[in-house]
Amino acid sequence: MGTTKPKRVGIYARASTGDQDAQLQVEELRRLAVQRDWKITAEYVDEGVSGTKTSRPELDRLLADAQAGRLDVVLVWKLDRLGRSLQHLLSVLDDLQSWGVGFASARAPGIDTTAVSGRLLLQLLGAFAEFEREMIVERVTAGVRRAQASGKHCGRPKVEIDLRPALAMLREGNGLKATAGAMGVGISTLRRRLREAGEWPRREGVQEAPAGRAAITGSTT
């Protein structure tokens, strides 16, 4: 009978500025790999890198090796060493799963996708993350509706426009497009502000003229 080849493991460690020494993480991960008869293929260490960053040099290298089929398992010290948030962690784990690469955490022994129980726990984490996303969307939507009901403006800040030069240009016969271009605002924005100020439509029979041409009135000479 042939012997089973040991799993190729990549160990990942990260230490932020002022955080604990990443080498302590590496040493513990090495011991765990030996205990599980895993062969350490590579070590990836991000020193002085904040966990809030999605892209980290060594993490990027690890993921590239995992995608290329050079690893069977990724081993980390704690979950927060890998993911900047639950959503980011689950995204990374989804990628590893799609590449056929397992994942295990030294300080969270229940998170081990090389075992059935670990895969089940990971599915539960995904369900909780989806629930969290839905609750956030629901709270934001409810907050916007309450604000709108009380007359508060939601969305992008309102563009403030001094209408005096716009009115002067329109009185001189410039079209709305030329006036908006000269003021550096969109036509629809300028039209909306004029309408809110009671200055649009200008008067009966006035039409918007093409840029650079005077407005055409309904009167004739």
More confident residue, 39 or 173: 39
- The verdict on 86 and 187 lying in the same domain is no
Higher pLDDT, 218 or 45: 45
CATH number at 12 reads 3.40.50.1390
In the predicted model, is pLDDT for residue 196 greater than 90? no
User: What order do you get walking across the sheet with 8-15 strand by strand?
Assistant: 39-47, 8-15, 73-76, 102-105
Looking at the fold, whether 82 and 184 belong to one and the same domain comes out as: no
Q: Which of 7-11, 76-80, 106-110, 124-128 has the lowest mean pLDDT?
A: 124-128
Per-residue pLDDT tens for 152-184?
A: 766 666 667 888 888 888 888 888 888 888 888
pTM score? 0.56
Whether residues 81 and 178 share a domain: the answer is no
Q: At residue 93, does pLDDT exceed 90?
A: no
Give per-residue burial for 196-210: e unless 16+ CB within 10 Å, then b: eeeebebeeebebbe
In this structure, what DSSP letter does residue 215 have? P
Domain hosting 121: range is 8-128
Predicted confidence (pLDDT) at residue 212 exceeds the cutoff of 80: no
Q: Give the pLDDT score at 32.
A: 94
pLDDT score, position 58: 94
Domain identity same for 109 and 164 = no
Average pLDDT over residues 57-78: 95
Looking at the DSSP assignment, which residues form a beta bridge with residue 12? 44, 76
On whether residue 55 sits in a domain, the answer given is yes
Q: Which residues contact 46 (CB under 8 A, 6 or more apart)?
A: 12, 13, 14, 15, 22, 56, 57, 58, 59
51 and 107 inside one domain: yes
On whether both 25 and 119 belong to a single domain, the answer is yes
Read off the tokens for 218.
């309904």
> Cα–Cα distance between 2 and 84 in angstroms, integer?
42
**Domain co-membership, 165 together with 67:** no
- Total structural domains within the chain: 2
My answer on whether 28 and 67 are in the same domain is yes
> How far apart are the C-alpha atoms of 103 and 218, rounded to whole Å?
76
Q: What band does 41 get if pLDDT is binned at 50, 70 and 90?
A: very high
State the pLDDT at residue 8.
96
Whether 175 and 117 map to the same domain: the answer is no
Catalytic residue list: 16
Looking at residue 159, what is its pLDDT?
A: 65
Q: Which residue has the higher pLDDT, 172 or 150?
A: 172
Tell me what pLDDT residue 69 has.
Answer: 96
The predicted structure's pLDDT at residue 205: 43
Assess if residue 134 is contained within a domain.
no
Task: DSSP letter for 205, please.
Answer: T
CB neighbours of 58 closer than 8 A, spacing ≥ 6? Answer: 12, 14, 44, 45, 46
- Whether 122 and 161 share a structural domain: no
Whether residue 96 lies inside any domain: the answer is: yes
pLDDT above 70 covers a percentage of the chain that reads 75
> Helix H segments across the chain?
22-35, 57-67, 79-82, 86-98, 116-149, 163-171, 176-183, 187-196
Quick: pLDDT tens for 99-139: 999 999 898 877 888 887 766 676 666 555 565 666 667 77
Q: What are phi and psi for residue 174, nearest 5 degrees?
A: -75, 145
Q: Is the pLDDT of residue 218 over 50?
A: no
More confident residue, 28 or 89: 28
Confidence label for 216 from pLDDT (cuts 50, 70 and 90): very low
